[in-house]
């Protein structure tokens, strides 16, 4: 409802402001008109396996033998891959969805299908850069129990909860977002961490086949349930150059059991989905990261349960299950871009994690799309997720389809026009608005003279809004861009508004 409220509040204010500006011009004697704070703590010790205490060895043994059924299953196979391939899951509920996959931004992602054991599955994959080179790619598995994909990769990446994985492709790392069996009308059903592991491996095979992807530099990452899926995939295969798991769990039986579609009376079903029983099978460098206030006990139990040198665990002090994502996916992206040797050379230190968590929040840059208003000969870019509403007939409104508390989703852009007779002179309009406490400045937009004006105003409910105008004088009319948002988003909104203005161009209809 916030977007609706802001449009209503601004519509009333805009009418008042416009009437005032026009009347003042007519009466003029001359006729002129994120943070990311926290401390990183590596939870694993530095001693070698030979230096392990008897108590530590006992702890590890107890973690793995506390469940005799799980131990027997794990010991009956040579590896998790063998156990997984031999096991047939029994589904107590056959669930799926037919949610549509939104079209991705052209030139940024392609909507593709990749073959799997159950049939073709949908995915977003970074478009070919077209430079003839082979590039690194990360497969990002989003959190939650859904098996589909939607427009989350280009939604607002909040600094305290950025589950988008967008840090990778914004840094220049090609990215693939796979859907899984049962999601988006895909064949099969939700298997709650079993068959989805096979789907991740199938996603790797597809990515490796792309001519612009380096098959030796394909990485895997995920958050929450996505991290657990990624960790299981790392236990299943060594195809991935490195794996980044943010908030994976150790034993699935203690988590989200309402989501389990399998036979919960069979203990083996849980064992096949619980990473703690298969940690020794990890052969790729795998980084387990979690905030102290998140699933940190899960991470520490996994660290205690194995001495596998390929597993690196870090608990981030002062952080939760979500706040590590924005700063530390950016760190992972940097590591991937620097990892150019024949084999993986990625390492992470406590100092690097500390520095990343202490960084000031970055202002996100939205994925933009081009819009053309033929009647005005006007072309400009705005966020890809913004909708165009022209139901007013005279005034265009653009706003996000979502209503989260951020500068992209809580801002509205209006575009309307005035005749040259309505506002004979930009200088006079600027003086009138300045008298009403607007901050004004003469500028240019698309090489045309323009007036920049900004102010704050209070809505009927006491909410403070921020408004930013750009009156552009063309040969035949004034085109007014009116940008409004909440005062809290002023700084970030100004950057977005300026990027929109920088994209403006006029054709013959001006």
Instruction: State the DSSP string of 368-409.
Output: EEEEEEGGGTEEEEEETTEEEE-TTSS-EEEEES---SSTTT
Give the Cα separation of 337 and 168 in Å (integer): 10
What's the whole-model pTM score?
A: 0.87
Whole-angstrom CA distances from 368 to 24, 106, 364, 382 are 37, 10, 12, 5
pLDDT cut 90: percent of the chain above it? 80
**pLDDT, mean over the chain:** 88
Q: What is the pLDDT of residue 127?
A: 98
Q: CA–CA distance from 413 to each of 11, 416, 488 (Å)?
A: 11, 10, 17
Fold of 42-69+97-223+244-256+286-358: Rossmann fold (3.40.50)
H/E element, 510: none
Q: How far apart are CA 139 and CA 200, in angstroms?
A: 8
- DSSP structure string for 90-120: -BSS-----PPPPPPPTTTEEEEEEEETTEE
* pLDDT tier at 338, thresholds 50, 70, 90: very high
The number of angstroms, rounded, from the C-alpha of 406 to the middle of its chain's C-alpha atoms is 14
Say what the pLDDT of residue 66 is: 57
Helix (H/G/I), strand (E/B), else coil: 456: strand
Q: How confident is the model at residue 359 (pLDDT cuts 50, 70, 90)?
A: very high
pLDDT value at residue 423: 87
Q: Is the pLDDT at 418 greater than 60, yes or no?
A: yes
Q: Which whole-number Å values give the CA distances from 60 to 57, 65, 75, 186, in the listed order?
A: 5, 9, 15, 40
pLDDT for residue 12 is more than 80: no
CA atoms within 13 A on the CB side of 40: 24
Beta-carbon-side half-sphere exposure of residue 309 (alpha carbons within 13 Å): 5
C-alpha triplet 219, 220, 221: angle, nearest 5°: 130
Q: What is the DSSP string of 18-37?
A: HHHHHHHHHH-TT-------
Model confidence over 422-456: pLDDT tens digits? 888 999 999 999 999 999 999 999 999 999 999 99
Alpha helices in 285-324 (DSSP H): 296-305
Q: What is the pLDDT of residue 46?
A: 32
Residues contacting residue 322 through CB under 8 Å, at least 6 positions apart: 160, 161, 162, 163, 291, 294
- Other CB atoms within 10 Å distance of the CB of residue 61: 12
* pLDDT of res. 258: 87
The whole-angstrom separation of Cα 365 and Cα 380 is 16
Q: Give the three-class secondary structure for 454.
A: strand
- Give dist(CA 231, CA 103) in Å, integer: 29
When pLDDT is averaged across residues 347-373 and rounded to a whole number, the result is 94
Q: What is the pLDDT of residue 62?
A: 53
- Number of Cβ within 10 Å of residue 179's Cβ equals 26
Question: Which has the closest alpha carbon to 347: 44, 99, 29?
Answer: 44
Matching fold, domains 2-33+363-506 and 42-69+97-223+244-256+286-358: no
Question: What does the alpha-carbon distance between residue 12 and residue 23 come to, in Å, rounded to a whole number?
Answer: 17
Would you state the pLDDT for residue 173? 98
Hey, what are 256's tokens?
A: 């989200």
SS (H, E, C) 158-204: ECCECCCCHHHHHHCCEEEEECCCCCCCCCCCCCCCCHHHHHHHHHH
Residue 362: phi and psi, rounded to 5, are: -85, 140
In the block, tokens 């530390």 appear at 328
What is the model's pLDDT at position 68? 74
**Token pair for 202:** 């199938």
Question: What length does the chain have?
Answer: 510
Q: How far apart are CA 260 and CA 278, in angstroms?
A: 20
Query: Are 317 and 41 a contacting pair, CB within 8 Å?
Result: yes
Q: What is the DSSP letter of 421?
A: T
Q: Which two tokens stand for residue 53?
A: 């205490």
CB atoms inside a 10 Å sphere around CB 272: 25
Percent of the chain surpassing pLDDT 70: 86
Q: What are phi and psi of 118, to 5 degrees?
A: -105, -5
Instruction: Give the residue extent of every domain in the chain.
Output: 2-33+363-506, 42-69+97-223+244-256+286-358
Q: Tokens for 354?
A: 């500390």
Per-residue pLDDT tens over the stretch 148-207: 999 999 999 999 999 999 999 999 999 999 999 999 999 999 999 999 999 999 999 999
Q: How far apart are CA 33 and CA 26, in angstroms?
A: 6
pLDDT digits (tens, 9 = 90+) for 41-91: 333 333 333 444 445 445 444 555 456 778 888 888 999 999 999 999 999
- Sign of the CA dihedral with 199 first, then 204, 207, and 211 last: negative
The structural architecture, per CATH, of the domain 2-33+363-506 is 3-Layer(aba) Sandwich (3.40)
Residue range 28-41, pLDDT digits in tens: 323 333 223 333 33
Q: What angle do CA 252, 42, 352 make, to 5 degrees?
A: 120
Q: Residues near 242 by Cβ (< 8 Å), separated by ≥ 6? A: 219, 220, 284, 285, 286, 287, 335, 336, 339, 344, 346
């Amino acid at each position: 409802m916030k977007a609706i409220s802001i449009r209503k509040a601004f519509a009333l204010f805009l009418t008042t402001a416009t009437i005032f500006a026009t009347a003042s011009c007519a009466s003029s004697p001359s006729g002129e008109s994120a943070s990311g704070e926290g401390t990183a703590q590596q939870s694993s010790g530095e001693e070698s396996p030979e230096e392990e205490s008897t108590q530590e060895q006992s702890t590890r043994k107890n973690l793995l033998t506390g469940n005799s059924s799980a131990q027997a299953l794990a010991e009956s196979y040579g590896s998790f891959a063998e156990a997984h391939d031999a096991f047939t899951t029994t589904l107590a509920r056959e669930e799926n969805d037919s949610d549509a996959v939104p079209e991705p931004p052209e030139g940024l992602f392609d909507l593709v299908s990749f073959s799997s054991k159950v049939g073709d599955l949908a995915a977003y994959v970074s478009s070919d850069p077209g430079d003839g080179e082979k590039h690194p790619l990360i497969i990002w598995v989003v959190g939650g129990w859904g098996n589909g994909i939607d427009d989350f990769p280009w939604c607002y990446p909040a600094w305290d909860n950025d589950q988008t994985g967008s840090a990778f492709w914004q840094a220049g790392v090609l990215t693939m977002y796979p859907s899984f069996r049962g999601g988006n009308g895909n064949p099969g059903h939700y298997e709650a961490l079993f068959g989805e592991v096979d789907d991740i491996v199938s996603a790797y095979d597809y990515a490796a086949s792309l001519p612009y992807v380096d098959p030796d530099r394909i990485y895997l990452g995920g958050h929450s349930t996505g991290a657990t899926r990624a960790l299981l995939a790392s236990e299943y295969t060594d195809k991935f150059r490195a794996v980044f798991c943010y908030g994976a769990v150790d034993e699935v039986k203690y988590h989200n059991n309402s989501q389990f579609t399998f036979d919960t009376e069979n203990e083996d079903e849980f064992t096949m989905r619980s990473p703690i029983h298969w940690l020794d099978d990890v052969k790729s460098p795998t980084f387990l990261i979690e905030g102290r206030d998140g699933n940190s006990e899960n991470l520490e139990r996994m660290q205690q349960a194995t001495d596998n040198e390929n597993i690196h665990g870090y608990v981030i002090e002062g952080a939760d299950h979500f706040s590590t994502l924005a700063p530390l996916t950016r760190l992972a992206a940097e590591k991937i871009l620097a990892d150019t040797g024949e084999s993986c050379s990625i390492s992470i230190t406590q100092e690097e994690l500390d520095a990343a968590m202490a960084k000031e929040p970055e202002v996100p840059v939205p994925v933009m799309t081009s819009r053309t208003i033929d009647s005005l000969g006007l072309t400009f870019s705005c966020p890809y997720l913004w909708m165009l509403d022209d139901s007013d007939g005279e005034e265009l409104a653009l706003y996000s389809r979502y209503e989260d508390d951020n500068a992209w989703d809580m801002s509205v852009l209006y575009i309307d026009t005035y005749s040259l007779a309505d506002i004979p002179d930009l200088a006079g309009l600027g003086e009138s608005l300045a008298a009403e406490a607007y901050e004004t400045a003469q500028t240019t937009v698309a090489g045309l003279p323009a007036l920049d004006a900004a102010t704050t105003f209070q809505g009927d409910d006491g909410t403070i809004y921020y408004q930013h105008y750009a009156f552009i004088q063309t040969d035949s009319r004034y085109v007014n861009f009116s940008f409004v948002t909440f005062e809290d988003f002023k700084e970030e909104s100004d950057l977005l508004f300026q990027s929109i203005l920088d994209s403006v161009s006029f054709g013959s209809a001006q």
